[in-house]
Amino acid sequence: MNRIYLDHNATTAVDPAVLDAMLPYFSADFGNASSIHTFGQRARAAVETAREQVATLLNARPQEIVFTSGGTESDNHAIFGVALDSFTSLTSSTSSTSPHVIATTIEHEAVLNACQALEKQGVAVTYLPVDREGLIHLDELRRALRPETVLITVMHANNELGTIQPLAEIGRIAAEADVYFHTDAVQSAGKIPVDVKPLQLDLLSVSGHKFYAPKGIGALFIKSGTRLRQFLYGGHHQRGFRPGTENVAGIVGLGKAAELARLSLEKDAARISRLRDTLEQGILAHVPDSRVNSANAPRTPNTSNILFPGLEGEALVIALDLKGLACSTGAACSSGAVEPSHVLTAIGLPASEARASIRFSLGRHTTDSEINAALELIPAAVTHLRKLSPTYP
């Protein structure tokens, strides 16, 4: 059976060129990047090259890139780092006011759970709603601002819908209010252009395994001058922002993946967008009552979230997997959750429709023949499950 993988938002395969770049750092070039001898200096040089590659992808300066274990750590470092630093400043002043953070209702759990943990420590958090397309309204953001607001954190592209938020406009609002601005760019970096300067970002999170680097490596962009509470304690690695011996092989892989993404981004986006549109049009044409969630919003070129009324999404995922097609009902870290997707209910879907929605996410190696095969498998699976469903007419 030739298996079809349409779950690239969960993770991607390591690109062969990325693996080739990493391999020497598991063997001959195994040195600790903090050691001053030749072995260590070879590792150090590789780490700094990767730092430049990631910085170039984001149009940042190399010294503004800190390597982490992935998107969750980067998000937590940014959010706790700003909020707790501000908390100390505010509570040590004559004012007894606690800091205030603005997020959205459709953030990844790495952001939402971090914000909820802050609330338990006395930090106020406003969660902005989104419209039917998954977009925030800028006037609501302006109204949410307070004198004590210290951070706006809004994800760039949603992991379930692909919806792209208007970061440039949000950045202007944050700059005018003199508020730090963070974005979770885990689902956008390497897929669409991300330039930290016109977006006026202070902090940005990326995760390597979303764009063909290995799992367990990510980065946090920290704009020079940003005040950030230390997150971990240890040695003086990475200017003290992230102590601990560097994961040299992973860092090299992230750097190479960033370089490949930068060079192929425009070409990949055009091809993948065409394939996604073919998939959506074929499903809508052959599956009655199906519809694309957030179809009218700007989206990443690879992501499609489709509602199939009258069935359970997990049943369809299993049925398609048995036929050789991998997809998902939403975020991989939420698999097995009893509750419907918080993202889909936030855009106004009732629980039954949220549970009947499937995410297809394409990648660099997705082919026309795979999409054509998917368009044979999906309508047949939906038709079969609907015949068994007591809720579909």
CB atoms within 10 A of CB 376: 13
| Structural domain total, the chain | 2
Residues 324 and 241 grouped into a single domain: no
Residue 233 has a pLDDT of 76
Residues 248 and 272 grouped into a single domain: no
Higher pLDDT, 236 or 217: 217
SS3 state of residue 293: coil
- In the annotation, is 333 catalytic? yes
Residue ranges making up the domain that contains 354: 4-11+265-388
What pTM, to 2 d.p., does this model score? Answer: 0.94
CA separation for the pair 317, 332 (Å, rounded)? 13
Residue 230 has a pLDDT of 80
Asked whether residue 333 carries a pLDDT value surpassing 70, the answer given is: no
Q: Is residue 338 classed exposed, middle or buried when 0-12, 13-18 and 19+ CB atoms within 10 A define those classes?
A: exposed
Residues 188 and 334 grouped into a single domain: no
Q: What is the tens place of the pLDDT at every residue in 235-272?
A: 667 776 786 889 999 999 999 999 999 999 999 999 99
- Residue that is last in its domain, among 226, 244, 260: 260
Residues 220 and 294 grouped into a single domain: no
Residues 356 and 226 grouped into a single domain: no
In a domain, 393, yes or no: no
Residues 226 and 282 grouped into a single domain: no
Q: What are phi and psi of 157, to 5 degrees?
A: -125, 135
Under 8 Å between Cβ of 50 and 255: yes
Residue 61 CA: distances (Å) to CA of 48, 200, 270: 12, 14, 28
CA separation for the pair 259, 53 (Å, rounded)? 6
Residues 320 and 246 grouped into a single domain: no
Residues 249 and 336 grouped into a single domain: no
Confidence of residue 338 (pLDDT cuts 50, 70, 90): low
Using only the alpha carbons of the chain, give its radius of gyration: 22
* Mean pLDDT for all residues in the chain: 93
Residue 130 CA: distances (Å) to CA of 52, 164, 269, 285, 359: 36, 12, 26, 29, 19
Helix 248-286 × helix 368-388 angle, to 10° = 60
Residues 206 and 189 grouped into a single domain: yes
- Residue that is last in its domain, among 260, 284, 316: 260
DSSP 257: H
- Residue 284: give its domain's CATH number: 3.90.1150.10
Residues 274 and 343 grouped into a single domain: yes
Under 8 Å between Cβ of 112 and 90: no
- Residue that is last in its domain, among 208, 240, 260: 260
Residues 46 and 185 grouped into a single domain: yes
Of the listed 28, 285, 318, 333, which one is catalytic? Answer: 333
